[in-house]
Structure 1
Amino acid sequence: MINMIYSAEVAAARETGAAIVALESTIITHGMPYPQNVEVAAQVEDDIRAAGAVPATMAVIDGVLHIGLEADQLQALGQAQNVAKISRADMPACIATGGTGATTVAATMIAARLAGISVFATGGIGGVHKGAETSFDISADLLELAQTPVTVVAAGAKAILDIPKTLEVLETQGVPVIAFGQDSIPAFWSATSDLRAPLRMDRAVEIARGHATRQAMGLPGGQLIANPIPEADQIAAEDLAPVLKQAQTEADTQGISGKDVTPFLLQRIFELTKGRSLTANIALVRNNARLAAEIAKELVKLKP
């Protein structure tokens, strides 16, 4: 048995059958400094509540999988040092050894499945890194989407990735990639791209029906909902392109590879955009949380 604890709010929501939205915790431990990390996490949780659902931020604390965090736990996690960043491969080991870990997209999907939560809001998913044809650097998030039945609302794949190859892997794995309200795939900090979305849906109820239909058909895996950042908050693709190129060139020149690539690139993009990337990141996460709450509410209505 897995040692798993529900927050009081999530436990009450389970009792009443209320809509619940899963949230990851790496944004708290690895996304930004204290106290901004806690403030943003609390803000995203409040966005979900304001939309009529209940937030469930996932984390492993001292070997216990927490489905939802109390306010004091959120504060403590935001100030904790040396917190592991856990995915599918190391999540069981973290629990088994009594460790503390923040959940990535893949780990949050696993936690949501264990808790019976069908919708998860995040910023952007991991994917195929540039140069993957030689490095084989592909995020576990993609395979998790192929096997774990959770609808993930994100602003697309992170813009530092090879988005066309990411879409190819998702297609091969049979993952529906659904752009919300537009025909192109959003590119994280940018609302649009020159890539046409495989699927488009314009209403939360359609997305909920898609999730329910996949389950009824016995198909494994979830859905990726590519929700564009509001235009007022975006960094236009033409402004972002030279920044991404410079950051990637610096990473290559310095020989940065593996797990060190993403944090290096995000930090350099933050510096090169004078903080605009972080402001946009917060806006898109909040936007995704609101849509996820609407989808979760529609799924509740579909239950017999």
Structure 2
Amino acid sequence: MTDFHIRPGDEVAEALRAGRPVVALESTIVSHGLPRPENLRVARQIERAVRDVGAVPATIGMVGGRLVVGLDDAELTRLATADGVAKLSVRDLAVAAATGADGATTVAATSAVAAAAGIRVFATGGLGGVHREAAQTFDESADLTTLARTPIAVVCAGVKSILDVGATLERMETLGVGVVGYRTRRFPGFFVTDGGFDLDWSVDSPEQVAAVLAARAAHGVQTGGLVVANPLPVDEQLDRDLHDRTLADGLARLERAGVTGKAVTPYLLAHFHSATQGASLAVNVRLVLRNADLAARIAVAAARSAA
């Protein structure tokens, strides 16, 4: 009989048993979000950023139908270099496991698997959310509904700026997903520092985020996730005018090409990479590394306070 259990990597399993800090990392950025061969180099760099702060990285993915929490380097290389790696949201996990697929987990799937494994902090680039024209298409990322029922803190640079940011924030409020800005009262816009919307709450340190997580657990009322929105410094963002021109052009191309569903985000991110001559890719890497660093600091602070 096939074993469909989640398999923690040896290092992650030991860290969880010992109460050491662990940070979950997604694998879609490795298989679908970055071009080869940069994807594997950056994946290793993200894990190193977590280790440098004193936490254990747990990159999550599916290898031959087995969900692995803490891919080893050979498994990470396989997902980074193989053709036909599936992009797995929560709804895809069981089918992919039963068919023995290789798959990379989205924010939604990574959050769900990490929480099931006992990991409470997750670093990513940007969340999915409500797509533009969602009033007609009903196109909304499973990231939002998954976070509504998953007790995990997600450190991100807001939601991808190709989405309807205002509608996404409204949906998170409706779904009960907490949102705090890290040293800001403005919601970040992924490639750009300011996504154009105010936030009700701000936190100033990893210790303060850890205290929020402890309070949520103690109250026992909120069952969903916490989004820690970590903006890029202004001098590290993508040039704002270049961003706006590229986004407008990309949306027009998207409509002409009739691209929909899961293909929208990879299409627009590839367009940004091409139209900005790689500048958006450099920004993407910077923000993911910053988020990994902050998530590791939060995980360390949470482990210290629980000791």
The reply to whether TM is greater than 0.5 is yes
For 2:259, the equivalent position in structure 1 comes to 256
For 1:285, the equivalent position in structure 2 comes to 288
For 2:203, the equivalent position in structure 1 comes to 201
d(CA) in 2 for partners of 1:180, 1:280: 18
8 A contact 1:154–1:225 mirrored in 2: yes
8 A contact 1:193–1:237 mirrored in 2: no
Any idea what SS the aligned residue of 1:185 has?
strand
The equivalences for 1:236-255 within 5 A come to: 236-255=239-258
Any idea what SS the aligned residue of 1:192 has?
strand
8 A contact 1:3–1:63 mirrored in 2: no
For 1:299, the equivalent position in structure 2 comes to 302
Cα shift readout 1:217-271 (whole Å, capped 9, x = no counterpart): 2221110011012333211433311211111011112222222211111111111
Structure 1 unaligned runs (5+)?
A: none
For 1:235, the equivalent position in structure 2 comes to 238
Which stretch of the first structure deviates more once superposed, 13-22 or 178-187? 13-22
For 2:7, the equivalent position in structure 1 comes to 5
For 1:67, the equivalent position in structure 2 comes to 69
For 1:213, the equivalent position in structure 2 comes to 215
Query: Residue 148 of structure 1: CA displacement?
Result: 0.2
Any idea what SS the aligned residue of 2:160 has?
coil
For 1:187, the equivalent position in structure 2 comes to 189
d(CA) in 2 for partners of 1:6, 1:254: 41
8 A contact 1:152–1:222 mirrored in 2: yes
User: Structure 1 length as normaliser, TM-score?
Assistant: 0.96
Structure 2 unaligned runs (5+)?
A: none
For 1:38, the equivalent position in structure 2 comes to 40
Cα shift readout 1:107-162 (whole Å, capped 9, x = no counterpart): 00111111100000000010000000000000000011111000000000001000
For 2:169, the equivalent position in structure 1 comes to 167
8 A contact 2:8–2:70 mirrored in 1: yes
d(CA) in 2 for partners of 1:89, 1:237: 36
Any idea what SS the aligned residue of 1:241 has?
helix
The amino acid that maps onto 1:53 is: A
Matched, 1:150 2:125: no
For 1:272, the equivalent position in structure 2 comes to 275
Query: Residue 277 of structure 1: CA displacement?
Result: 0.6
Cα shift readout 1:82-102 (whole Å, capped 9, x = no counterpart): 111011111122123322210
d(CA) in 1 for partners of 2:4, 2:153: 23
Count of aligned positions: 304
8 A contact 2:242–2:276 mirrored in 1: no
Counterpart among 218, 222, 229 of residue 226 in structure 1: 229
For 1:138, the equivalent position in structure 2 comes to 140
Query: Residue 6 of structure 1: CA displacement?
Result: 2.0
Cα shift readout 1:59-78 (whole Å, capped 9, x = no counterpart): 11112110101111111221
Counterpart among 108, 123, 126 of residue 124 in structure 1: 126
For 2:27, the equivalent position in structure 1 comes to 25
d(CA) in 1 for partners of 2:4, 2:252: 44
d(CA) in 1 for partners of 2:43, 2:235: 21
The amino acid that maps onto 1:123 is: G
Any idea what SS the aligned residue of 1:191 has?
strand
d(CA) in 2 for partners of 1:50, 1:30: 26
d(CA) in 2 for partners of 1:193, 1:32: 23
The amino acid that maps onto 1:292 is: A
Identical counterparts, % of pairs: 43
Counterpart among 57, 81, 84 of residue 82 in structure 1: 84
d(CA) in 1 for partners of 2:259, 2:75: 34
d(CA) in 2 for partners of 1:213, 1:97: 41
d(CA) in 1 for partners of 2:64, 2:74: 15
Cα shift readout 1:160-189 (whole Å, capped 9, x = no counterpart): 000000000001111111110111111001
d(CA) in 2 for partners of 1:193, 1:73: 36
Cα shift readout 1:8-40 (whole Å, capped 9, x = no counterpart): 221231233210000000011111233211100
d(CA) in 2 for partners of 1:194, 1:138: 20
Which stretch of the first structure deviates more once superposed, 254-263 or 123-132? 254-263
Which stretch of the first structure deviates more once superposed, 226-235 or 124-133? 226-235
The amino acid that maps onto 1:127 is: G
Any idea what SS the aligned residue of 2:161 has?
coil
